[in-house]
Amino acid sequence: MSTDEKKGGDDLLGGPGEPRQGSMDSDEALLGLLQALHPRKPYCIVENWTIFKVDATEDELSKIHAAGQLPMIVFAHNVLFDSQRRFDVGDWVRSTFATSFEDGFLFETRNTVYVLKGAGHEKKASLETIFSFF
C-alpha cells in the first residue's frame, strides 16, 4: 500500500467525522412524507450513516455538476427498509451521487431517496478513497 493510499484510508476510517442528526420521526410519519414528496420514487430507510462530501478537483466538480449531481455520497451500515427489496434488513449500502439533500435527512439520488434516521456523520474524502473501500 502506498503512502497516499494509507493516508486516504486514514481519512475515511480514522474517525467519525462531524456529528449530524437524521430524522427522529416514526417510520409511519416518514412513509407519509415520502408519499407526499416522492410518490413514485423508490426509497431506502437507513441508520448508522455517513455522508461523504467529495474532496474533488475543479475538473471533477465540473463533471459532477454538469451531470446535475452534487459531490455527496451516503454510506449506511444498516438498511432498515428498502421499498424495492434490493437490500435486506441489516445490509450496508453506498449511494451514487446526490441530486438533492433536503431537511438534513432526505438524501436523493437519481434512482432512490435515502431516508437518514438517527445519528450519523459527515466527512470529506476523495472519490478514490470512497470507492476503494466500498
Residue 124 clears pLDDT 70, i.e. is over it: yes
What's the pLDDT at 1? Answer: 37
DSSP string spanning 90-120?
A: T--EE---BSEEETTTEEE-SS-EEEEEEEE
- Tracing cell 476503494 back to the chain, one arrives at 132
Q: Which residues contact 42 (CB under 8 A, 6 or more apart)?
A: 82, 83, 84, 86, 111, 112, 113
Encode pLDDT of 22-75 as tens digits.
Answer: 999 999 999 999 999 999 999 999 999 999 999 999 999 999 999 999 999 999
For the question of whether the overall pTM of this predicted structure is more than 0.75, the answer is yes
Check residue 134 and give its pLDDT: 59
Q: Measure CA 75 to chain center.
A: 5
% residues pLDDT > 90 (the chain): 80
